[in-house]
């Protein structure tokens, strides 16, 4: 039986991949929710319903993304305190983060339900799409608390040195989602409502199972305990995790800009094609996010403990892995462009051709995405939320928005598909500049 990996260990490539693998699989399965919904809705409810889900999804992700902020920022803070060998404070901070998640989840669920119809209108929903947008959005928003808890626990289970438990919970949630999608949409033909219910119930599985584990006595580094509200650490965690929520908000805003541009240039087919690219992107990028989330508590722990040698070790090995993954994912995207387009929109020849062509151009973005994601997460782990947020903000909002608005003027419709790659290139240069500028302060080089 292999010994349990601890945050304080020296990490070889083998040990690092063993430790981060559950996080990678967790993120991939989390991404499967939207992909499975899209597959069943597209094939059983049609492309108008499919476009409706894609149109309202950015708003849903903005609300649910608050869980990533608390999870990543809170985990960085808690791991730092664990590195300082103060377990009592770590548990106190951990408990505060979970209680904050529940309170925010309830508030966001109520707000999202009330705002769903006007937001759908602002996003450009047509008369044919409006009812599906509102129906899907309101049902999924009702499960926001569970979704946020799932996102939070994905990070904290790593800090607790229980990444495999997180993997079990997320796989169980993913399997639940796939089964219920097949049942509700494929068999019962409930359309977007069935897809929304399948997603919501699966998020309950992913959020509640870890909650039960931490409420009960356990042998991990963390457990839920009675605590009082401490404003300073809460603000510190939220500020440090702001890059993650900024990334979610920015990506959602950019998706809205993409949808406006696509409706202008290509109509409903453009939104559907973009939806397919986003579903595949969710999974590919989830691999990079999963690694970054899995590696972050190690970085925070060694930074808190003052182990500069281990910090350098993590940084160097991570760069090699994320660039290697970028090359592999780019090649894989080219290879899978045709079969994946066929799976999602093969029922419409024109839409299939458009999606496959877009896929080939979009694929180059995966080459640099991993480096940018890791760099932002690396600074979050070092408790430097300002740099992390700057990278995320520029990468996911400024560079992408500028690219999707400007490139079509020069390249036509193809400029929309090239926009993500252009944004990743500029973000890559920015990330490299920050790493060079901060190397003297943190000594990771």
| Sequential DSSP letters for 402-427 | HHHHHHHHHHTTHHHHHHHHHHHHHH
pTM of the full structure: 0.76
Q: What is the dihedral of CA 321, 439, 313, 23, to 10 degrees?
A: -50
- Identify the H or E element spanning 337: helix 308-345
pLDDT for the residue 1: 47
> Cα–Cα distances in Å, from 377 out to 157, 203, 330, 345, 386?
17, 24, 21, 35, 12
Q: How far apart, in Å, do the first and last CA atoms of the chain sit?
A: 35
pLDDT for the residue 98: 94
pLDDT for the residue 238: 82
The rounded distance, in Å, linking the Cα atoms of 276 and 130 is: 20
pLDDT for the residue 145: 94
pLDDT for the residue 266: 83
| Segments of the chain scoring below 70 in pLDDT | 1-3, 33-34, 243-244
Q: Please, are residues 237 and 381 in contact by the beta-carbon 8 Å criterion?
A: no
Report, in angstroms and rounded to the nearest whole number, the Rg of the chain calculated over CA atoms: 21
pLDDT for the residue 188: 93
Query: How is residue 211 written in tokens?
Result: 């909650």
Q: Look at residue 65 and give its three-state secondary structure.
A: coil
The rounded distance, in Å, linking the Cα atoms of 346 and 368 is: 29
Contacting residues for 234 by C-beta, under 8 A, at least 6 apart: 96, 97, 100
Q: Look at residue 359 and give its three-state secondary structure.
A: helix
Q: Tell me which residue of 9, 27, 25 sits closest to 307, measured CA to CA.
A: 9
């Amino acid at each position: 039986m292999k010994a349990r990996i601890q945050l304080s260990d020296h990490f070889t490539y083998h040990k690092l991949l063993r430790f981060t693998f559950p996080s990678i699989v967790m993120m991939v399965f989390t991404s499967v929710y939207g992909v499975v919904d899209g597959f069943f809705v597209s094939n059983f409810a049609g492309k108008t319903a499919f476009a409706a889900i894609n149109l309202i999804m950015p708003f849903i992700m903005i609300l649910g993304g608050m869980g990533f902020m608390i999870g990543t920022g809170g985990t960085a803070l808690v791991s730092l305190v664990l590195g300082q060998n103060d377990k009592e404070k770590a548990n106190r901070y951990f408990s505060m983060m979970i209680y904050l998640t529940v309170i925010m989840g309830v508030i966001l669920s109520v707000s999202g339900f009330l705002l769903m119809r006007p937001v759908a209108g602002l996003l450009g929903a047509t008369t044919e799409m409006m009812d599906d947008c509102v129906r899907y959005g309101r049902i999924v928003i009702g499960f926001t608390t569970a979704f946020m808890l799932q996102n939070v626990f994905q990070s904290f289970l790593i800090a607790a040195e229980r990444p495999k438990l997180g993997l079990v919970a997320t796989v169980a949630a993913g399997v639940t989602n796939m089964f219920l999608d097949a049942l509700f949409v494929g068999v019962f033909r409930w359309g977007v409502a069935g897809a929304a219910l399948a997603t919501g119930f699966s998020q309950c599985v992913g959020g509640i199972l870890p909650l039960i584990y931490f409420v009960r006595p356990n042998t991990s580094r963390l457990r839920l305990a009675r605590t009082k509200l401490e404003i300073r650490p809460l603000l510190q965690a939220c500020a440090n995790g702001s890059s993650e929520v900024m990334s979610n908000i920015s990506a959602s805003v950019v998706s809205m800009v993409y949808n406006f541009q696509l409706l202008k240039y290509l109509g409903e087919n453009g939104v559907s094609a973009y939806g397919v690219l986003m579903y595949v992107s969710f999974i590919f990028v989830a691999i990079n996010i999963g690694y970054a989330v899995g590696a972050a508590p190690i970085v925070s722990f060694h930074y808190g403990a003052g182990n500069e040698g281990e910090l350098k070790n993590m940084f160097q090995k991570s760069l090699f892995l994320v660039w290697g993954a970028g090359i592999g994912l780019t090649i894989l995207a080219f290879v899978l462009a045709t079969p994946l387009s066929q799976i999602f929109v093969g029922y419409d020849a024109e839409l299939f051709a458009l999606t496959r062509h877009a896929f080939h151009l979009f694929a180059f973005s995966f080459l640099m995405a991993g480096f940018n994601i890791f760099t932002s997460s690396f600074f979050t782990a070092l408790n430097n939320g300002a740099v992390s947020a700057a990278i995320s903000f520029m990468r996911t909002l400024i560079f992408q928005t500028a690219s999707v608005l400007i490139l079509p003027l020069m390249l036509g419709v193809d400029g929309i598909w090239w926009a993500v790659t252009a944004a990743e290139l500029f973000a890559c240069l920015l990330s490299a500049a920050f790493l060079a500028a901060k190397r003297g302060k943190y000594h990771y080089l």
